[in-house]
Amino acid sequence: MSIKDQPVSCFQIDEEKAWNVLGHKYQPVIDSDNSYAWISFDPPGTFVPPHSHGENDEHIFVLEGEYELYLDGRWQTARAGDTVRWPKGSLHAYKILTDKPAKGIFWVSPAGQLSKLFAELHNVENPEEVVELSRKREIFFAKPGEAPGYK
């Protein structure tokens, strides 16, 4: 999908273009060799457990709501207008702890295999299958107890 297919100013979900990944909706906006970007629609109570990327840095620009962010054993809150960078190889995660959804523009650089992974994860309901498919695409989830300070 190119930027021409999705206006940058459109931050509403398009159900036909979005992937459902364990309760999150990911709508791609840029897919190139250098960068892959998506809008993440994250309902209250959802989370992405600690994981690392084998080949890319990850960034977030928070559009709405609050993200509780985990990076290498520490937690912090990001709100609308904040930007975040998780370096390649870092152990990171996020949670939505408020009663309101959060929305952010996420991107990785280089693009790596995330576009293919999200397509494979669409509507997969088994978390163990998500972990296995992710590993094959260079996304590595921590095992319980391997993430200091993660609760």
Q: What is the pTM of this model?
A: 0.86
Q: Is residue 128 part of a domain?
A: yes
Phi, psi of 134 (to 5 degrees): -65, -45
Residue 149 near residue 70 (C-beta atoms within 8 A): yes
- Domain containing residue 87: 3-141
- State the sign of the Cα–Cα–Cα–Cα dihedral 115, 117, 119, 124: negative
Give pLDDT tens digits for 58-83.
999 999 999 999 998 999 999 999 99
- Asked if residue 19 belongs to a domain, the reply is yes
In a domain, 60, yes or no: yes
Q: What is the mean pLDDT of the chain?
A: 89
Contact 38, 107 (CB under 8 A): yes
pLDDT band at 115 (very low <50, low <70, confident <90, very high): confident
113 domain residue, yes or no: yes
149 in a structural domain: no
Please report whether residue 148 resides in a domain: no
> Is residue 150 situated within a structural domain?
no
Where does residue 4 rank: exposed (0-12), middle (13-18), buried (19+ CB within 10 A)? exposed
The 10s digit of each residue's pLDDT in 10-28 is: 466 666 778 889 999 999 9
Q: Is residue 109 part of a domain?
A: yes
Number of compact structural domains in the chain: 1
What's the whole-number mean pLDDT along residues 103-123?
92
CATH code at position 90: 2.60.120.10
Residue 66 tokens, joined: 């609050």
